[in-house]
Amino acid sequence: MPRRLAGAVVAITGASSGIGRATAAAMAAKGATLALIARDEHALGRVADECRTRGAAVLAEPVDVADEPAVGEFARRVTAELGRIDVWVNNAGVMLYGRFEDTPSDAWRRVMEVNLFGQIHGSRAALPRFRAQGGGVLINVSSVWGRVPSPYVSAYVTSKFAIRAFSECLREEVDDDPEIHVVTVLPQAVDTPMWRRAANFSGRNTRALPLARSAEEIAQRIVWCAEDPKREITDRHAGRALELSNGIAPKLWSRLAPRVVERLAFSSGASPDSPGNLFEPLHERDHTTP
């Protein structure tokens, strides 16, 4: 039977934009109480206000998910002020473009710290509370690139593969408690600010991949998984097609991938090296963009 989200306490990381912002709005519409974190305090505040206008109670705090003590302290504050945590959505993520040999070690490491260890820190904060209260839903956001390799985004792909493996391990470890669920969501390309804010050491301009889904569509899948937990879902036909292609003909995919990615992910013109938003949030002029 689907779980009711009305009155549930839902924690979302990376809540200031993109999928996180859309998920916060969708959860607010369901009547959930929200606990939101992101690095950008001002953008996070705007999202919190948007959710309050929808009638949601919101606790929001600027936190870098790579900072494990800060994530743990936020979870303690949520539990103290809101009583429990029913759903934890590990969503925060960053992107890095460039050949592995051209990307600085600190940039590569930072992607792993945010994308992978950010989810590890969130899981360490959530799971003991789920155990103590008798249940909960942990939702880890991976990517179709968590199943399908790709050149020029090796740090991102590695982090998303690792998130899938990490989620599988957790799922087996909590198997003794049927009320604790670990869900992995694998979106295909999504239209979010991540592409514009990405670190770039490729020497070329980047662009969003075609057939991108809206953040709101992915948010609805996350809501669905919170209400009726699944093991793992891939969104959607294009994503499944990529998974199938790589699974059936991995050698052919390896030969085609560099040409496909170069054509779809890069546009004409040169671009200077940039760390993007890896180490600090980037403030955009258009704050209405999700």
Reported as a single tens digit per residue, the pLDDT across 197-239 is: 999 999 999 988 877 889 999 999 999 999 999 999 987 555 4
Alpha carbons within 13 angstroms on the beta-carbon side of residue 51 total 32
| Per-residue pLDDT at 186 exceeds 60 | yes
Contact indicator for 27, 5 with CB cutoff of 8 Å: yes
To the nearest whole number, what is the mean pLDDT of the chain? 91
Catalytic site includes residue 97: no
pLDDT of residue 175: 96
Taking only Cα atoms into account, the Rg of the chain, rounded to an integer number of angstroms, comes to: 18
Q: Which of 140-144, 231-235, 238-242 has the highest mean pLDDT?
A: 140-144
8 Å CB contact between 50 and 75: no
CATH code of 9-270, in short, is 3.40.50.720
User: Would you state the pLDDT for residue 287?
Assistant: 39
Residue 290 has pLDDT above 50, yes or no: no
How far apart are alpha carbons 244 and 246 in whole angstroms?
6
HSE, side-chain direction, 13 A CA sphere, residue 280: 4
Mean pLDDT of 169-197: 95
Q: What is the pLDDT of residue 289?
A: 38
Banded model confidence at residue 241, pLDDT cuts 50, 70, 90: low
pLDDT for 41: 97
For CA atoms 66, 71, 73, 74, the dihedral sign is positive
What is the DSSP code (8-state) at residue 226? H
Work out the angle between the directed axes of helices 117-133 and 68-82 (0-180°, nearest 10).
30
Q: Is 266 helix (H, G, I), strand (E, B) or coil?
A: strand
HSE value, Cβ hemisphere, 13 Å, CA-based, for 137: 26
Extract the runs of DSSP E, i.e. beta strands, from the chain.
9-13, 33-38, 58-62, 87-90, 96-97, 136-141, 180-187, 190-191, 199-200, 204-206, 213-214, 232-235, 266-270
Q: What is the pLDDT of residue 286?
A: 39
Active-site entry in 156, 195, 201, 266: 156
> Nearest Cα to 207, choosing from 216, 218, 198, 217?
198
Question: What are the extents of the domains in the chain?
Answer: 9-270
Q: What is the DSSP letter of 251?
A: H
C-alpha to C-alpha distance for 227 and 187, rounded to whole angstroms = 18
pLDDT at 264: 80
Q: For 264-278, how does the pLDDT look when each residue is reduced to its tens digit (9 = 90+)?
A: 888 888 999 999 999
